[in-house]
Chains A and B, each alone.
Chain A
Amino acid sequence: MGMTMAEKILARHSGQAVVRPGDIAVCEVDKIIQIDLVFSASAEMPKRISNPSKIAIILDHAIPAPTVGDADGQAIAREFARRFGIEKFYDVGRHGICHQVILENGLALPGQILTCTDSHTCASGAFNCVARGMGPLEMLQIMCTGKTWYQVAPTVKFELNGSKPGSVFGKDIFLHLAAVAGSVEGHNIEFAGSGIAGLPLDDRATLATMGAELSAEFVTFPADARAIEHLRSVTDERFEPAESDPDAEYAATYAVDLSSLRPYVAKPDFIPHNTLPVADLDEKIAIDQAFVGSCANGKLEDFRVAAQIMRGRTVAPGVRFIVTPASQKVLKEAVRRGYVETLLEAGAVVTNSTCGACYGGHMGVLGAEEVCITSSTRNFKGRMGSPSARIYMASSATVAASAVAGYISDPTPLLAESL
């Protein structure tokens, strides 16, 4: 019996020839990513660490600091980087949401293990990296010892075939999978199929990031030519991709014909089995806020499609349309290509890059009873502000089309008109 991608990577890193679901693998971690939120006056700091060259510090959640507490925490992060000689330090100005900064800079490489204290760390699986979120205490342990444990999980395969229609994006594919498969806690997700080759890296990253919302352990994509070409353009570091064996065993397989998909939306509070095609919503849902952003969907592709929809149109009266780039680099490129100007002309607000409104931190927090359509990561009750706010989730195209209409709308007609 062969191994899946995740099993191979865990076996290599724990010095074993083979691992199987249920085994405990104690692994050397290749990349240790620390974010601003783990640094505060009350957080415990280590006396010694295992290897500063494996650590990167990326300020993202509360950037630039909205409170004195955040500012003090970020000063502690700077001092920590100085004291331990951590060269990969992404301070304000070089910043972005950690998962985007990781992907842009080739910090997550095929065949590697990466850990970070943010739950959407599975994002790096877009590049064939075994990556997951860890609690802040476990991240402290990994900084100290360089190692942690994994209990090898069985794997669910998502096989993508065909090519998607122009109004369907990575987020729609994910929301469709959430309707079909539901949550997969205790399992890895492995993407496969001929449909991957045609998927832009941004869409793959959306799919990998959103695996957290199905409670996946790891999400992995194969390292294909498109992924390797990007990585070679940003890093000289050596890597060894992991392919799944033809006789690897899967707990379940779900095949999706991408050409059959339509734009999807998730209803408030949770994702698994709580999504449906936008066109199948049985009522007109008026919105107060539309949000494009987060590690999942604050990418250049999201700016491109939002600008395409907003060009020559305006945000509906009574709606706030907030667009937050996933990194400073995304923002610079979106400015250069004119996307930002188009959005501003339409009445949108384009913010600095940060986790911001996605986690209810700042720059777009929701008030009581408000309704939001978001392309960010999570729709839990209270996630983006008031516990009585209602959060619907969709692609950035659907969010932009909804901002124009004032209620949740399928973007297909606007995309067709604005080609």
Chain B
Amino acid sequence: MSDSHSLLVQGRVWNFPDDNINTDLMMPQSVFAKPLQVQLRSVFATYRPGWVDAVRPGDIIVAGRNFGTGSSRPGSFLLKQIGIAAIVAETINGLFYRNCINYALPAMECPGVRELASEGDVMRINFATGSVDNLTQNITRSAPPMPEFLQAIIRAGGIRERLKAEGYL
């Protein structure tokens, strides 16, 4: 297990292999004005019913291409709140990626990762070096590491913590 803003994450894998999994599936428009607890219940509720109940803190999402395509709604915030500790995908939508960094949810692109893990495998990801290890099957991949500038945002706990520290909030 890892602390909540760590760039070295070890956890259990959930596979989301489809391409183009979008933000509306993570956070439907119908919950925008609802309390946080209702929003958390809505995460992938129509796409993968019951999944939210099975997630444990520290789990990792392994995803396909164009993960998180869609709107600016903070689906990454909800994923972090339900306990997801990291996302590794074939490719990630840029707006969703920014939201991940800004809410201190480490995310990374790793070509070939979709074939790397079966659901339930234990994976270790080092975002600073780009190494992705499937500890269950003893397979390793490497991806471009996260830029130092973005690592610093995650280590600070996201940009809200920074704005508070700088007296803006």
Contact = CB atoms under 8 A, between A and B. Distances in A.
Interface of A: 24, 37, 40, 44, 46-48, 67, 69, 117-119, 132-138, 140-141, 144-145, 149, 151, 153, 183, 185-186, 212-213, 215-217, 269-270, 272, 359-361, 378, 380-383, 387
Pick the 10 closest A-B CB pairs, nearest first.
A144-B168, A135-B99, A270-B20, A119-B71, A215-B93, A24-B149, A69-B33, A387-B46, A380-B24, A183-B66
B145 to A, nearest CB: 11
Contacts of B94: 132, 153, 185-186, 215-217
Contacts of B91: 185-186
A119 B65 CA distance: 19
A360 B99 CA distance: 22
Contacts of A153: 94
Chain B CB within 10 Å, residue with most, of A40, A67, A378? A378
Interface stretch (B53-61, B112-120, B123-131, B159-167): B159-167
A141 B159 contact: yes
Contacts of A134: 72, 95, 98
Contacts, number: 124
A69 B93 CA distance: 30
Given A185-B93, A215-B69, A387-B46, A137 B160 contact: yes
Interface in B86-119: 91-95, 98-99, 102-103, 109
Main secondary structure of the interface of A (DSSP, over half): loop
Contact of A151 (B32, B95, B147): B147
Contacts of B83: none
Interface of B: 19-20, 22, 24-25, 28-30, 32-33, 46, 65-66, 69-72, 74, 76-77, 91-95, 98-99, 102-103, 109, 147, 149-150, 158-160, 162-163, 166-169
A59 to B, nearest CB: 16
A47 B94 CA distance: 29
A38 to B, nearest CB: 10
A180 B168 CA distance: 46
A206 B60 CA distance: 37
Contacts of A151: 147, 150
Given A183-B65, A272-B66, A136 B24 contact: no
Contacts of A69: 33
A44 B160 CA distance: 10
Contact of A47 (B70, B99, B102, B167): B167
